[in-house]
Amino acid sequence: MATAVAAVLLAGCAPGTGTDGPGSSAPETPAPVPAETAQTPSPTPPSVAERAAARIASMTVRQKAEAVVMGYAAGTDPGVLSGYVEEGPAGVILMGDNIPADAASLAELTSAIARTTDPPPLVAIDQEGGVVSRLSWDDLPSALDLKGADPAAIEQAFSARGDLLAEAGVTVNFGVVADVPRGDGSFIFSRAFGTEPENVADAVAAAVRGERGRVRTTLKHFPGHGAAEGDSHHVIPQTDISYDAWRARDGAPFAAGIDAGAELVMMGHLRFTAVDDRPASLSPEWYRILREELGFDGVAVTDDLGMLMSSGDPAYGDPADNAVAALAAGADLVLMVAGSDPSTAGDMIDGIVEAAGEGALPADRLDAAVERVLALRLE
């Protein structure tokens, strides 16, 4: 009996049969579970402005000059127009002779232009509707039809117009007139939303909201044709009203359009002598007012610089000089149509490069202009 008990005790102590041994039937201690790995946040994508700034760092002066010029070439040949952009200005405006018979053909044309550069060039148009209309198939109400209309109706009309332009591949519309004519005798009356600044301001804001997200909207013609009457295609209209009077009346629709999100403002060739003897398109003070007083941080584009030449003033007889003067004053994009030929944009680019090299156009001013235009193209 004692021998049997001893055998049992010895068996209980034998290797491989204890509670800690490999032969134990007790559950094994589970392996430690590693602590949860901390999630690494995804890097924040660079902003459009940061992407634009990064591109500028590797651009030559000539490439910068090309980026701030918008020109015009005749016809509807996709090869001609895409070649024009590829060899010079990084933006093109489509005039009446550039528009094919239907929307599908226009989309083919703009698609060819878009493939020429990275990011795609700006493709602009004057599509106000009514008196100023490039698209024959746009039968939507114009400002003339919408005078006194409810803002909702104006927003609807410009939303539909923005859709037409987007479908056709147009990226910028020079199409929202923010001028406040003094009466129906004004040359701009048929293109404006009315003669009372409050009504015009509400209409302009509605038009901007309508085009928003469809096509980039341009307010024109800053500081306003209403005070400075006369057709700036042929003369440089002039007024001596005070800044305060301008701000209360003519400035109101521009402020409303900027607050509504307009991406561009077109600078008119208009003299407000109480502010500056120079046309607003060439006036550092008017660009300062636009930026600092109205808070605009988008692209300031000149009205057609060819109109300055058409005024007959010999001071504005050279398109390259006009382009340099506008950029130095504060413009981001210089537009040239009237009196131009396929070589004009190249001459302007040459003039900008020369002015930048000589210091007549400061490097930081050119870079600021390029950054705004590139950001618009990258959006």
Strand segments, DSSP code E, in the chain are 69-70, 91-94, 122-125, 172-177, 216-222, 238-239, 264-267, 271-272, 299-302, 334-335
Residue 225 designated active-site: no
Asked if residues 150 and 191 have their Cβ atoms less than 8 Å apart, the reply is no
Q: What is the mean pLDDT of each run of 10 residues along the chain (379 residues)?
A: 38 38 46 56 82 91 98 97 94 97 97 96 97 97 97 98 98 98 93 97 98 98 90 88 97 98 98 97 98 98 95 93 98 97 96 98 98 95
Give the pLDDT of residue 46: 86
DSSP-based three-state secondary structure for 344: helix
Choose, from 77, 233, 276, 367, the residue flagged as catalytic.
233
Choose, from 250, 303, 304, 332, the residue flagged as catalytic.
303
pLDDT tens readout for residues 202-241: 999 999 999 999 999 999 999 999 888 877 787 899 999 9
Residue 221 designated active-site: no
Across the strands, what pairs with 298? none
328, 308, 129, 298: which is closest to 218 by C-alpha? Answer: 298
Q: Which secondary structure element, helix H or strand E, spans residue 197, and what is its range?
A: helix 197-211
Q: What's the whole-number average pLDDT of the chain?
A: 90
